[in-house]
Structure 1
Amino acid sequence: MSTALDPISSVSVISTGTVAIRPEHVGPTRKNTYVWLFTSRRWTDPRPINVFVIEHRDGLVLFDTGQDRASVTDPDYFPGGLNGLVYSRLAKFDIEPAQTLSAGIRRLGHALGDVHTAVLSHLHQDHIGGLPELDRSDIVIDRIEWDSLHKPLPEARGLMPTHIDLPGLRWKQVEPEGLADPAIRPFERGHDLFGDGSLVLLRTPGHTPGSLSMLVRRPGQHPLLMVGDLTYDDRLLAEGHLPGVGDKRQMRTSAHLVNELRTALPGLVILPAHDPGASARLARALSIPPAPIRTQATS
């Protein structure tokens, strides 16, 4: 495929503030989640809350929507009681007025009304914060993740329905289908967002049951994989280390698949939601063309 046929004109990242989490959250750790959650005394340095913005010929696409600034201005944003205590122990947010989703989109020369599709990696608070402003967009979520929202005790599982299942939103639940695309094996199933192979959603469960990653492919450019919270540090993922939150068996399988995809797609750039190096990694990928793939000469 030639560059002239590239359906994507740009890929950008904005950050809706920063979040500090526990070092054990980043991982690796052998401690039980609730042990480190209630005993850890340390916080990481502030980490970004990344939203990736893709200009596709069929419309503007977001991967995740960041953290709502109301979470730091509205004292009733979070649940009370034990659930509220858990939320306060998990993360500390800092979001300035200029760090909202709408402000970041405007800096890129767009308006929220230009957003055709918002893909959610999962339904935790720091990925759904822009939903109140996206009532004119398709909101894409994995069916398994959507179903998990409606199981008992969602707030105890990190899901706040009052900030998610909002009136007027156009939800699209997707189910992976078979992909006749040997280039992205070991993944054999996914959802091709626009049917042109440029944006493919891949199931990478573990952090949550229905976590999604999005593969971005453009001719003459490094392939990109936006992985949500599968990891908080690409180096740790490459070394097979897992975060301290989630289903370890599922995360291990998903991490293995992603690391195999690195081999299948040379130059693959991994872009986690809270990796401090993700923005610079994306900038390098966009400025440096990939090395040509060498093929063995035949006589």
Structure 2
Amino acid sequence: MAEAQSQSITNTLKPKLNIPASSVSISVKIIDASTISNVPAHALVTPMVPGYKTASPAPSYCFLLEHPSGQKVLFDLGIRKDWQNLAPAIVERFKKVGHQPSAEKNISEVLDDAGVGKENVNAVIWSHAHWDHIGDMSTFGPETELVVGPGFKDFFLGEGDGKNSALGSVQSSDVEGRTVREIQFQGVGIGKIGKFPAFDYFQDGSLYLLDTPGHCVAHLCALVRTTTNPDTFVFLGGDAAHHCGEVRPSAYVPMPEPILKTTAKTSVNQHDQLPACPGSWYEDLQISRDRDPKGPLWQPAFGHNMEEVMTTIQSMQEYDGDESVFVILAHDPSLRSSEVRFFPQEINDWKQRGLNQKLRWKWTEEILDTLNC
């Protein structure tokens, strides 16, 4: 399996992202400070893979972005350590479905302990306003701006349905006394990278916020330039997809032959029996579930607007197919690897260290284990 994961990918299509040139890069540090366990697979993805009943314990990553100017920005805050103080409807939902969130520290404490200082954070960007991404904004002072996507204020703070959402939990303490800046993706200065409208956050091409609707009202992704000459980037995916198997394989990133040729000992058609045939396990599994044999294993089981969810994933596949871009989903346990350097170290050398190739297909190990391959 290691050979398959490290093997270079030959893409059948080449994406055209047309990322503007820039001489400015940003330090990117992944903060892994929280975990969600015991989530039923059917609550996240569909159609089911027989035997795959509970998703692996998943992180909820946050990202410290440090600009050469000295400005510091956080992308997401993960889970607050006192999650019991989330909105009562959310805590009741945990009890009902068995979710087990955990976080020993708030992100503000992680920064303080590392000597960064929460008071030095200029802004927090929420990919979206679900409980496992917004942390506890009240632990940052009023000088820290909150940056959100289009439609956030009306839906979560106004007359929309956000206050009653079973997943959202924006509280008055998150927003009172601070600037809440809602990014708009229309008008002068708004470009397009790939198929996503893009807002140039620092106006120097180092950080783009991307309009990626579907999963939640006001959902944002980010494209961060990690090196120049050559240019490399990380794509911060938030919850545009929960699992890599919702994005891969694709026309841009086909599954490598060594994985496809793994021998399946059990399988999954309508009779729960799959012939032990090298090279056929993924195709047979997909066909048995009415899925594209060359397409992603799953699609998301829910979203605010499912048509937009699927369009966003299709557009994200173009980024995933660009070898200069490292796509990181907020809940991808594959990154919990000895290969990955977490905060306080940065991940800017991901391309040089071959992380994309080493980790891109790691998620298939769990599926193959489920199928007893």
TM-score (norm 2): 0.64
Q: CA deviation at 1:266?
A: 2.6
8 A Cα contact 1:234 1:271, kept in partner: no
**What does the per-residue CA deviation read over 1:69-89, in whole Å, with 9 as the maximum and x for residues that have no partner?**
1114x4xx3315xx6533432
Q: 1:141 maps to which residue?
A: 148
Q: Please list every run of 5 or more consecutive structure 1 residues that lacks an aligned counterpart in the other structure.
A: 31-40, 292-299
Answer 1 or 2: which has greater strand percent. Answer: 1
- Using a 3 Å threshold, how does the CA distance of structure 1 residues 145 and 19 change in structure 2: closer, same or farther? same
- Using a 3 Å threshold, how does the CA distance of structure 1 residues 216 and 145 change in structure 2: closer, same or farther? same
8 A Cα contact 2:191 2:199, kept in partner: no
Distance 1:268 1:28 in 2: 27
Distance 2:203 2:93 in 1: 41
The yes-or-no answer on 1:286 pairing with 2:286 is: no
Distance 2:208 2:350 in 1: 23
8 A Cα contact 1:128 1:164, kept in partner: no
- Using a 3 Å threshold, how does the CA distance of structure 1 residues 282 and 252 change in structure 2: closer, same or farther? farther
Q: Amino acid of the residue matched to residue 154 of structure 1?
A: K
TM-score (norm 1): 0.78
Q: CA deviation at 1:180?
A: 7.5
Structure with the larger RCO, 1 or 2 (CA within 8 Å, 6+ apart): 2
- Using a 3 Å threshold, how does the CA distance of structure 1 residues 234 and 282 change in structure 2: closer, same or farther? farther
The yes-or-no answer on 1:17 pairing with 2:34 is: yes
Answer 1 or 2: which has greater helix percent. Answer: 1
Distance 2:315 2:340 in 1: 21
Q: 2:64 maps to which residue?
A: 53
Q: CA deviation at 1:244?
A: 1.5
- Using a 3 Å threshold, how does the CA distance of structure 1 residues 131 and 260 change in structure 2: closer, same or farther? same
Q: 1:36 maps to which residue?
A: none
- Using a 3 Å threshold, how does the CA distance of structure 1 residues 224 and 90 change in structure 2: closer, same or farther? farther
Q: Please list every run of 5 or more consecutive structure 2 residues that lacks an aligned counterpart in the other structure.
A: 1-21, 250-295, 342-346, 355-373
Q: 1:69 maps to which residue?
A: 81
Distance 1:267 1:282 in 2: 17
Distance 1:103 1:47 in 2: 21
Q: 1:174 maps to which residue?
A: 183
Q: What SS does the corresponding residue of 2:308 show, helix, strand or coil? A: helix
Q: Amino acid of the residue matched to residue 233 of structure 1?
A: H
8 A Cα contact 2:24 2:204, kept in partner: no
Distance 1:168 1:24 in 2: 40
Distance 1:249 1:201 in 2: 21
Q: CA deviation at 1:107?
A: 4.9
Q: CA deviation at 1:287?
A: 4.3
Distance 2:207 2:155 in 1: 24
Corresponding pairs, count: 268
- Using a 3 Å threshold, how does the CA distance of structure 1 residues 221 and 111 change in structure 2: closer, same or farther? farther
8 A Cα contact 1:190 1:203, kept in partner: yes
Q: Amino acid of the residue matched to residue 224 of structure 1?
A: V
Q: CA deviation at 1:90?
A: 6.9
Alignment RMSD: 3.0
Q: 1:33 maps to which residue?
A: none
The yes-or-no answer on 1:242 pairing with 2:249 is: no
**What does the per-residue CA deviation read over 1:5-62, in whole Å, with 9 as the maximum and x for residues that have no partner?**
4342x211112321122212331337xxxxxxxxxx9543321111011111241111
Q: 1:34 maps to which residue?
A: none
Q: CA deviation at 1:165?
A: 4.8
The yes-or-no answer on 1:78 pairing with 2:84 is: no
Q: Amino acid of the residue matched to residue 50 of structure 1?
A: Y
| Larger radius of gyration between Structure 1 and Structure 2 | 2
- Using a 3 Å threshold, how does the CA distance of structure 1 residues 200 and 164 change in structure 2: closer, same or farther? farther
Q: What is the aligned-residue identity percentage?
A: 22
Q: 2:195 maps to which residue?
A: 186
Q: What SS does the corresponding residue of 1:104 show, helix, strand or coil? A: helix
**What does the per-residue CA deviation read over 1:236-268, in whole Å, with 9 as the maximum and x for residues that have no partner?**
3123432222132111100011112334x4331
Q: 2:331 maps to which residue?
A: 274
Q: 1:28 maps to which residue?
A: 46
- Using a 3 Å threshold, how does the CA distance of structure 1 residues 7 and 153 change in structure 2: closer, same or farther? closer
The yes-or-no answer on 1:206 pairing with 2:214 is: yes
Q: What SS does the corresponding residue of 1:202 show, helix, strand or coil? A: strand
8 A Cα contact 2:324 2:351, kept in partner: no
8 A Cα contact 1:267 1:290, kept in partner: no
